[in-house]
A and B are shown apart, each in its own frame.
Chain A
Amino acid sequence: MADIPRSRSSILEVRGLTRRFDGFIAVDHVTFSVGEGEVLGLVGLNGAGKTTLIKMLITLLPPSEGSAVVCGYDLRREPAMVRRTIGYVPQLVSVDGDLTGRENLQIYARLYDVPGAERASRVDQALRFMDLADVGDKLVRAYSGGMVRRLEIAQSMLHRPHLLFLDEPTFGLDPVARASVWRHILELRNNFGATILLTTHLLDEVEELCDRMAIMTHGKLAAIGTVEELRQQVGPDAPLDEVFVHFAGTHEQEGEFRAAARLRRTGRRLG
């Protein structure tokens, strides 16, 4: 994948972003930037702080310390403006099964101020782009896991965001559905020049989709760079999982029971 020149204007600037919960630090002074049109993969063991970092960047969770500039807006002073310029697909299944795919899109077209005259065509276009045109009027409860994910990505793209956050976009999907979601993410990037920050546990997803990867461990950013750059630091022929273990460690985090149960539920609904 093409190397992104560092001089390109950055769409996300994160400076010392930190989040504490009752004495424990979930995200610890994280600093990095993402260039326009870049796809950055954020990886790390469970509990490394990926989701907390994303939650701060999308304005769901106020940071304890540090700052970020998202699409030119200050995260802490202008959260409402940040929201207008970003798109977000959560790890959880976030579409309404009791509505049709089209209805699920129409809500977000309105929430994101897509002008009334354009809404219908924008929704149609999103359905077509995600290969959902022929099931757009079916209830979402009848969708497969891959279709649900594609619908969610369609929702997040309706307002043409400049920066898209995808939290484990292929979690719980079978290989066929995963390949189709990958293909659609690549098309987004190639056709719309979307800048994407995605979290994942799959290293082949990083190789397939991302220009650079950032590895988090214990709330800190352990490494960031292209796969090749990071590989050089470990050994010329090191396999990617070895590179990952080198930076992320192997220590298994004590996960929260609730979080684990929730992930399993999501997995079941998609699978």
Chain B
Amino acid sequence: MSVAALRGAKTETLTGFVSKTFAIVGVEIAKLRRDPTDLFSRAVQPALWMLVFGQVFSHTRAIPTGNVRYMDFMAPGILAQSVLFTSIFYGLSAIWERDLGILQKYLVSPAPRGALVLGKALSAGARGLAQATIVYVLALALGVRVSWSPLGLLGVILTVVVGAAFFSTLSLIIACIVRSRERFMGIGQVLTMPLFFASNAIYPVSMMPGWLQVLSKGNPLTYEVDLLRSLMIPGAVATMHLGLDAAVLSGSTFLFILIASQMYPRLGT
């Protein structure tokens, strides 16, 4: 084929973008199916939070949770937390793929950077859903009354996917900045607990001191938990407007995916 004929190669289409995004997601799903042990080891932490922390605080009745029981109140918070804790390490796996040479091959392929980053974000979403299933089982076992309305469940699924996408993309951005496993581990540890505690996951924002209330309003986890709580628990009411929650969470996810798409190629250099 002559060099001139090569110039006819086509440019990216929407279906091509979607297909490439799901090629990346497919990798994650194949791995999840093949080795689900990871899911079970990750079930330990939420189980401990609900069994120990949840049971104790249910008895003290120290936390004002309105007309829902404390266990019901905290279950969506623990769901969000366990998805956060898995998603926040996606940057580490990107660094690992860089060290292996897989990331470089992704970057040399014609896949748009946005499709690669979105693919990773939705991979975190898929893993988040598997995680959510486990938290639901735990919650049911502990007598949490969850809503089974189809619309509510659909809302929970969407929220978990978008929440996982947000925190995995945040993690990817950090990976693009620090570029090494050692530095990433340090930052990952420093980040997760403050995100968790500066949110409404296990206590309402109204209980927090003023400065923490301000921080929690800037924390997307707060909006995620607010959404999950009102969708998952009958009788729980969103403390902020549901539309605001959804807008903040999806808006910041979209913004972070744009930023990460710009930064992702830096990992490959």
Residue A83 contacts which of B10, B27, B110 (CB distance < 8 angstroms)? B110
Q: A49 CA to B101 CA in the complex, in Å?
A: 18
Knowing A58-B108, A111-B20, A111-B106, the reply to whether A9 touches B3 (Cβ < 8 A) is yes
Judge whether B27 and A107 touch: CB under 8 Å: yes
Knowing A61-B269, A111-B23, the reply to whether A94 touches B108 (Cβ < 8 A) is no
Q: A116 CA to B20 CA in the complex, in Å?
A: 12
Residue A96 contacts which of B7, B16, B27, B107 (CB distance < 8 angstroms)? B27
Cβ < 8 Å to B, chain A residues 91-112: 91-96, 98-99, 103, 106-108, 110-112
**How many residues from B make CB contacts under 8 Å with A?**
38
Chain A residues whose CB sits within 8 angstroms of the CB of B45 once the complex forms = none
Cβ < 8 Å to A, chain B residues 1-59: 1-4, 6-7, 9-12, 16, 19-20, 22-24, 26-27, 30-31, 34-35
Per-residue CB proximity of A127-160 to B under 8 Å, as 1/0? 0000000000000000000000000000100000
Residue B100 contacts which of A92, A99, A108 (CB distance < 8 angstroms)? A92
Residue of chain A at shortest CB distance from B265: A60
Residue B35 contacts which of A92, A94, A98, A112 (CB distance < 8 angstroms)? A98
Q: Is the contact region of chain B dominated by helix, strand, or loop, or is it mixed?
A: helix
The answer to whether the Cβ of B219 comes within 8 Å of any Cβ in the partner chain is: no
Judge whether B30 and A103 touch: CB under 8 Å: yes
Knowing A60-B269, A98-B34, A112-B109, the reply to whether A81 touches B9 (Cβ < 8 A) is yes
Whole-angstrom distance from the CB of B268 to the nearest CB of chain A? 5
Chain B residues whose CB sits within 8 angstroms of the CB of A11 once the complex forms = 3
Judge whether A94 and B100 touch: CB under 8 Å: yes
Chain B residues whose CB sits within 8 angstroms of the CB of A61 once the complex forms = 269
Judge whether A93 and B6 touch: CB under 8 Å: no
Whole-angstrom distance from the CB of A110 to the nearest CB of chain B? 4
Q: A81 CA to B112 CA in the complex, in Å?
A: 11
Judge whether A84 and B100 touch: CB under 8 Å: no
Residue A60 contacts which of B2, B20, B108, B112 (CB distance < 8 angstroms)? B108
The answer to whether the Cβ of A162 comes within 8 Å of any Cβ in the partner chain is: yes
The answer to whether the Cβ of B238 comes within 8 Å of any Cβ in the partner chain is: no
Q: A71 CA to B110 CA in the complex, in Å?
A: 15
Per-residue CB proximity of B84-108 to A under 8 Å, as 1/0? 0000000000000001111011111
Knowing A99-B30, A108-B109, A111-B109, the reply to whether A90 touches B3 (Cβ < 8 A) is no
Q: A61 CA to B22 CA in the complex, in Å?
A: 26
Residue A90 contacts which of B19, B24, B101 (CB distance < 8 angstroms)? B101
Interface centre among A60, A113, A155, A262 (most CB of B within 10 A): A113
Judge whether A72 and B108 touch: CB under 8 Å: no
Whole-angstrom distance from the CB of B201 to the nearest CB of chain A? 32
Knowing A111-B111, A113-B16, the reply to whether A94 touches B269 (Cβ < 8 A) is no
Q: A113 CA to B2 CA in the complex, in Å?
A: 21
The answer to whether the Cβ of A85 comes within 8 Å of any Cβ in the partner chain is: yes
The answer to whether the Cβ of A73 comes within 8 Å of any Cβ in the partner chain is: yes
Q: List residues of A whose CB falls within 8 A of some B CB.
A: 9, 11, 36, 55, 58-61, 71-73, 80-81, 83-86, 88, 90-96, 98-99, 103, 106-108, 110-113, 116, 155, 162, 262
Query: Contacts A11-B3, A111-B106 given; 11 further ones with Cβ under 8 A?
Result: A60-B107, A83-B110, A86-B108, A88-B105, A91-B101, A98-B34, A99-B31, A110-B20, A112-B109, A113-B110, A262-B99
Sort A-B residue pairs by CB-CB distance and give the 10 closest, nearest first: A92-B101, A94-B101, A110-B23, A90-B101, A72-B3, A111-B109, A83-B110, A88-B108, A84-B110, A111-B111
Q: List residues of B whose CB falls within 8 A of some A CB.
A: 1-4, 6-7, 9-12, 16, 19-20, 22-24, 26-27, 30-31, 34-35, 99-102, 104-112, 265, 268-269
